[in-house]
Amino acid sequence: MLAWILGFLLVPVFGVILYFLIGERKVRRRARRKRKRRVYILQALHSEAWATEKEDLEFKPKEPGPLDLDPSLLKLAEVSEKLGDFPLSMGNKVEIFTSAREIYGDLLRAIDGAKHHVHLEYYIFRPDETGRLFRDLLVKKAKAGVEVRLLLDGIGSWGTWWSFLRPLIDAGGLVETFLPAVPLRSRWHINCRNHRKIVLIDGEVAFLGSQNIGDEYRGRLRRLGPWSDTHLRIEGPAARELQEVFVEDWYFASREDLVSSKYLRRQPAKGDSMVQIVPSGPDQDEGVLQHILFSAISLAQKSIRIGTPYFVPDPGLILALQHAAFRGIKVEVLIPSRTDSRLVLWAGRSFYQELIRSGVRIHEFDHGMLHSKTVSIDDRWSLIGSANMDVRSFLLNFEVTASVFDEKISKKLADDFGTHLEESREISPCSNPPGPFFASLLEGAARLFTPLL
């Protein structure tokens, strides 16, 4: 607020224009209106013969599954449900992928096997070789009679021109832009972006995580080297909840209402993983991810592992990590030293020493772009999705994350984390902070922009 006031006083015209473009942090899909849509969806599903009672969709701690959880994890699930839209769901089959070849291979096979519909929602969908590979497969499925819907962010996919998407549209596929950046379009916005990466196949198989569609996500940018992402494939009740996230976003962008048994059919149990889908964004009154992270870090008993490509913590996250380290918890943060955003890297480095002095161990990965966005607590609970550890993901972007209560997934994440640590260097505490003058100057200047990063 003080920064904006100062801007208005020093550069009145430019300050007003800038505020008009990026000053608004809320998207006019207010939480109250969103709750009404949630009630509408439940009522619509309840009215169909196949739907279960509304109570069956709500979180019940008395059911056998959640009772197997540690009481602290149950509390975490309750916090997530109160702040988010979905309860903890049982009976999910979850597979985790940590390489582009695995992710793209499984995703392409799933799309190729679609029988009724394919829904895709991406922040970035490049018009390059990888993008053409996916586009051509979607064209093939659309020509075969499969419903194809592709939702792209107005800024992230700015360079994906309609000429590139024309073959898909001509084949019968539907393409929409989420919050266009052009003021002449309705529902336009510059600052708040849809950062989600979602694919749904026939409402039964769901994918979410950190990987977009583009050549760089296959490690084809030489300056960044190999590219690492983490993605989930989910089958079971949580897939239906992720479908609901897409249905809401598609309705917001296109006004096409997909609330029907064709798209939101209740899914049977497919495995033994407990998963909670956590959508977050500027249409919510509370910072959902901030509260969940603060709760999870506070409940940690042994270890906290955070992997993120962009680390610009807010004061609440800094305090939570410091407090955990003071309690004797092993806190490790893994960040790539090669990045496509130097400003964010410098801003993040300005926080290193105050965290290191409290006992937090920070590592920089030097062998490529570590784009995974993961949190693991005590090897029992994991957070995997599209959100970075920065103010933009906490408050400005639409994100979607899977809160996974599964020790097998957590241990696999821990193994992957350990592998990357072997190729990383730990940041040492500075004996005379703030360190070298020029580096400190860059980091301090970048830190001024943290509310926008």
- Determine the residue type at 385: G
- Asked if 373 is an active-site residue, the reply is yes
In angstroms, the Cα distances linking 439 to 17, 345, 394 are 32, 12, 27
Q: Which of 119, 270, 291, 371 is catalytic?
A: 371
**Residue 132 neighbours by CB under 8 Å, 6+ apart:** none
CB 64 within 8 A of CB 37: no
Q: Which of 189, 197, 363, 412 is catalytic?
A: 197
- Asked if 215 is an active-site residue, the reply is no
- Return phi, psi of residue 342, to 5°: -65, -35
Q: Which of 119, 189, 195, 363 is catalytic?
A: 195
Q: Which of 229, 314, 378, 406 is catalytic?
A: 378
- Asked if 202 is an active-site residue, the reply is yes
- Asked if 330 is an active-site residue, the reply is no
- Return phi, psi of residue 178, to 5°: -90, 120
Q: Which of 373, 390, 412, 420 is catalytic?
A: 373
Q: Which of 85, 153, 202, 416 is catalytic?
A: 202
- Asked if 197 is an active-site residue, the reply is yes
Helix (H) and strand (E) counts in the chain: 16, 19
Among candidates 139, 309, 285, which has minimal Cα distance to 216? 309
Tokens 């390489």 — which residue? 99
> Rounded to an integer, what distance in angstroms lies between the CA atom of residue 289 and that of residue 307?
15
Strand, helix or coil for residue 136: helix
> Rounded to an integer, what distance in angstroms lies between the CA atom of residue 340 and that of residue 409?
29
- Asked if 229 is an active-site residue, the reply is no
Burial class (CB in 10 A: 0-12, 13-18, 19+), 319: middle
Burial class (CB in 10 A: 0-12, 13-18, 19+), 157: buried
For residue 383, what is the enclosing H or E element? strand 381-385
Task: Write b or e for each residue in 226-237: b if 16 or more Cβ atoms lie within 10 A of its Cβ, otherwise e.
Answer: ebbbbbbbbbbb
> Rounded to an integer, what distance in angstroms lies between the CA atom of residue 58 and that of residue 295?
21
> Rounded to an integer, what distance in angstroms lies between the CA atom of residue 234 and that of residue 200?
10
Q: Any idea which residues carry the catalytic annotation?
A: 195, 197, 202, 371, 373, 378
